[in-house]
Structure 1
Amino acid sequence: MSNFCIVILAAGEGKRMKSGLPKVMHRINSKPMVNYVVDAARKLGPKRIIAVLARKRLQVRDILDKDIKVAIQERQLGTADAVKAALKNIPSNVRDVVVLYGDTPLITEKTVRGLYDFHVAAFASCTVLTTILPNPRGYGRILRNESGQLIGIIEDKDANFQQKANKEINTGLYCFKREDLLEALGHIKPLNNSGELYLTDAFSWLFNRNKKIVACVTDDYHEVLGVNSQSELMEASEIIRRRILLKHLENGVLVDDFSTVFIAESAIIGAGTRIFPFAYIEDDVAIGSNCKVGPFVRLRCGAVLKDNVRVGNFAEIKNSTFGQGSSMGHLGYIGDTSVGMGVNIGAGVVVANFDGKKKNRTVIGDKAFVGCDSVLVAPVVIGRRAVVGAGSVVTRGHDVADGATVAGVPAKPINKKKKNR
């Protein structure tokens, strides 16, 4: 049984985002940024995850899973005050408390686990996560003695020239021994008229009482960078997009052009599949092995491609399944459709799935052939080995029998038998 809790501070307003949306609700690749932090935290298996929200921004609760405890910070009086708001949700038998931020979506399980494991191994009262930042301007600097031991944190505005040259910074992520954290939060006082309390104050209070304070260094500084503006949101999105692409490469997927391909986090792609430039693959999409997708393809929620499926340029598929070996080479829309095995969908084919009131299903049987520029008006069934002639409109309810050939507007059966002359 785990012996620690994780507190995620998510009460920030995010004025620099210039948006009416709370900062942590802004999406990265279709997912609210705070949920990246929650996912990293959950993988560690803590006894409890507590998200601290501002009273004025309780809508953040709607995007959190039900297992996340919510604590309310009545007034935004600093990070230490936010952690205070979470205390009543921390069980008394918990030994340690990890503090993360909801606006650091690049944080990974590996880094948080490294912080916690380092803290436990050191028998520390407080462990601060640090990193080396190429441009540390604005960040508090880590102070060490000649032996490399942590001796303090100094804010950028208070640092002298030599201290500012130091690029090791305080990320603001901590792991505390619970009982020491409670004691510190009960004693620290605001340093100015704002009434704000910060976790660096708790750090200093513990340090001044000779509690064991240590620093854990993470190599990838990107993980701890906060998102405070739309440009930083864009930069974080790009890093996460590339992480997802690299994961698929490691699993045997071929990606032709990193700069133009988008794959959502939850998409599943089998080994040997090739993704061509300008493919856009959304959440809840599953692609089998040895498929070819793109260029210029959009696979929307619910799209399932079995093995050896080919979807070519300017095709859009939504909430539909393509059976093994089926092909849609170019230019078309397939929505709410079950496509069998070995089906050929010609260029310009459209499934008209919406009748103005609801979406309707279409079924295309194994080895059917749908000719170019045809329209299938749902609900309709195209039978196994059936043929729909080019330019046809198969109207709703007028199913095409197995092996039949239809053509025209509206589509009608064609008698293939030759007439005696």
Structure 2
Amino acid sequence: MSKYAVVLAAGQGTRMKSKLYKVLHPVMGKPMVQHVVDQLKKLELKEIITIVGFGADKVQDQLGNDSRFVIQEEQLGTGHAVMQAEAILEDKDGTTIVVCGDTPLLTKETLQALLDHHQKEGAKATILTAKAQDPTGYGRVIRDEANDVERIVEHKDASSDELTVDEINTGTYCFDNRLLFESLKNVSNDNAQGEYYLPDVIHILRNQKQKISAFQSPTFDETIGVNDRVALSEAERMMKKRINQAHMRNGVTIIDPDHTYIEPDVTIEQDVTIYPGCVLSNGTTIKADSIIGPHTEISNCNVGMETVIRQSVVKDSYIGNRVQIGPFAHVRPDSNIGDEVKIGNFVEIKKASLETNSKVSHLSYIGDAEVGKRVNVGCGTITVNYDGKNKHLTKIEDDAFIGCNSNLIAPVTIGKGAYVAAGSTINEDVPNDALSIARARQINKEDYAKRMKK
């Protein structure tokens, strides 16, 4: 049987008090609506339709080809939002799952279990429910003697007995697709808000003697909707905990999970150790036996085996095996760091490649450069790559030795095995195996300092 999804993502989210459209607020680096759609994509769905309103173009830019889009011109309630998908889904047989775009913690496992339960029970509508420790403000799910759903009662309308019920409606549903759109035609907006509410479909189907079921989520936390910054921070905390625990169960040592930030698309192999204060993001991969941190930021990088990166920032780069980086180094985008390279304290690397066994140990800038194997770059060395208009390339070939406080004015090539004397400013190519000295001759004036003091 065909399955479809409708994602409700049209609300403005005024309680967020933000210029950013609500469902685009990130949780662990990824917009909430992207979390939802990513989980739906893991199900065997024929189509995902996202209902957009405020900020429609930005939501469409974010989701791209992951979804079809329908615009809800006026936000007149959840029922009205689902109605907007009528032209696409109305005549289709199958099951439609309706999910809110501000529920980033929902997992594919729970959504699949909801679909399976719906099919197994032969229900025409199934509500995803949860047990809430404090159900204040939530609609209560009232079951009959057969344990089917009798009705949903909003908190303000509940009796004293109904208020003791701790099973709440999460706002996620499965419906028989044809009955969903038939019922939506009969939903009224005769209420204080003048809106069309999706839960009214449950009452309509119940009155038609259709089977209404409920499936309880394993945890309440997974079902929370994010409506303000407080809830956003809670979602962030719970997602962080979920991600870190998954890595630890897969063999990663995280010394202080409460102070380690790992985005959901990061891959970490076994026996990696991560110290406190680290931020790992944007598709980073870290190979086995590496040590990261403390206080290290790595974004969109491939990090090899047995590499150590301490108190450093590394972005958009490839880092080889058994590399030592830091403390306090900065590897900027488009850098390629080969195996067994050392990048020491207060070194900045930008759009440069360093091949095996080369060292830039401290206080140097290597930008727009190709550095060969077994090169030693002395303290305070600068590749002078920018002339005020264009960037130029510096090449340092295998086994070269660059003395401290050297300026290599690009474009320039330092040949294989060449030496550059400390304090030199090099603006011409250095041949292989040559010694290049480019500094003023030292002059000592005897007793000059003594005379100055007089």
Q: Would the TM-score normalized by the shorter structure come out above 0.5?
A: yes
The change in CA–CA distance for 1:109 and 1:208 in structure 2 (over 3 A counts) is same
Which protein shows a greater Rg? 2
- Residue 201 of structure 1 is matched in structure 2 by 200
| Letter matched to residue 335 of structure 1 | K
Q: Does 1:403 align with 2:423?
A: no
- Residue 168 of structure 1 is matched in structure 2 by 167
SS in 2 for 1:236: helix
Q: Does 1:108 align with 2:79?
A: no
The change in CA–CA distance for 1:138 and 1:193 in structure 2 (over 3 A counts) is closer
| Letter matched to residue 435 of structure 2 | N
- Residue 320 of structure 2 is matched in structure 1 by 306
| Letter matched to residue 220 of structure 1 | T
| Letter matched to residue 394 of structure 2 | V
SS in 2 for 1:394: strand
**Could you list the per-position Cα deviations for residues 156-199 of structure 1 after superposition, in whole angstroms to 9, with x for gaps in the alignment?**
11112222222110001000001111121111212326431111
Asked if the contact 1:227/1:236 (under 8 Å) is kept, the reply is yes
Q: Give the Cα–Cα distance (whole angstroms) in 1 for the partners of residues 252 and 344 of structure 2.
A: 20
Q: From 409, 415, 418, give the equivalent of 2:435.
A: 415
Asked if the contact 1:5/1:98 (under 8 Å) is kept, the reply is yes
The change in CA–CA distance for 1:163 and 1:36 in structure 2 (over 3 A counts) is same
Q: Give the Cα–Cα distance (whole angstroms) in 2 for the partners of residues 310 and 243 of structure 1.
A: 30
SS in 2 for 1:104: coil
1:191-340 matches, cutoff 5 A = 191-192=190-191, 194-301=193-300, 302-319=316-333, 320-340=335-355
The change in CA–CA distance for 1:317 and 1:260 in structure 2 (over 3 A counts) is farther
| Letter matched to residue 361 of structure 2 | G
Q: Does 1:386 align with 2:386?
A: no
SS in 2 for 1:5: strand
Q: Give the Cα–Cα distance (whole angstroms) in 2 for the partners of residues 271 and 387 of structure 1.
A: 37
1:66 Cα deviation after fit: 1.9
Q: Give the Cα–Cα distance (whole angstroms) in 2 for the partners of residues 205 and 157 of structure 1.
A: 21
1:364 Cα deviation after fit: 2.1
Asked if the contact 2:418/2:435 (under 8 Å) is kept, the reply is no
The change in CA–CA distance for 1:56 and 1:63 in structure 2 (over 3 A counts) is closer
The change in CA–CA distance for 1:410 and 1:261 in structure 2 (over 3 A counts) is farther
**Could you list the per-position Cα deviations for residues 94-151 of structure 1 after superposition, in whole angstroms to 9, with x for gaps in the alignment?**
4010000111111111111111111111111000000011111100011123453322
SS in 2 for 1:259: helix
**Could you list the per-position Cα deviations for residues 178-231 of structure 1 after superposition, in whole angstroms to 9, with x for gaps in the alignment?**
111112111121232643111110011101111010000011211211111122
Listed as ranges, the gaps of 5+ residues in structure 2 are 301-315, 386-392, 437-454
| Letter matched to residue 375 of structure 1 | I
Q: Give the Cα–Cα distance (whole angstroms) in 2 for the partners of residues 8 and 44 of structure 1.
A: 14
Q: Give the Cα–Cα distance (whole angstroms) in 1 for the partners of residues 281 and 424 of structure 2.
A: 35
1:56 Cα deviation after fit: 6.2
1:3 Cα deviation after fit: 0.8
| Letter matched to residue 304 of structure 1 | Y
- Residue 139 of structure 2 is matched in structure 1 by 140
Asked if the contact 1:290/1:307 (under 8 Å) is kept, the reply is no
Runs of 4+ in 1 over 6 A off after TM superposition: none
1:39-50 matches, cutoff 5 A = 39-50=38-49
Q: Give percent identity, aligned residues only.
A: 33
Q: Give the Cα–Cα distance (whole angstroms) in 1 for the partners of residues 404 and 273 of structure 2.
A: 29
| Letter matched to residue 317 of structure 2 | A
1:91 Cα deviation after fit: 6.9
**Could you list the per-position Cα deviations for residues 294-313 of structure 1 after superposition, in whole angstroms to 9, with x for gaps in the alignment?**
22322234222223223233
Of 91-100 and 177-186, the range deviating more from structure 2: 91-100
- Residue 367 of structure 1 is matched in structure 2 by 374
Q: Give the Cα–Cα distance (whole angstroms) in 1 for the partners of residues 371 and 252 of structure 2.
A: 28
1:314 Cα deviation after fit: 2.0
**Could you list the per-position Cα deviations for residues 369-418 of structure 1 after superposition, in whole angstroms to 9, with x for gaps in the alignment?**
223333233422222232222333333222222322323242586739xx
Q: Give the Cα–Cα distance (whole angstroms) in 1 for the partners of residues 252 and 73 of structure 2.
A: 48
SS in 2 for 1:13: coil
Q: Give the Cα–Cα distance (whole angstroms) in 2 for the partners of residues 286 and 411 of structure 1.
A: 38
Please, what is the CA RMSD of the aligned residues?
Answer: 2.2
Q: Give the Cα–Cα distance (whole angstroms) in 2 for the partners of residues 253 and 347 of structure 1.
A: 30
SS in 2 for 1:97: strand
| Letter matched to residue 169 of structure 2 | N
SS in 2 for 1:66: helix
Of 338-347 and 61-70, the range deviating more from structure 2: 338-347
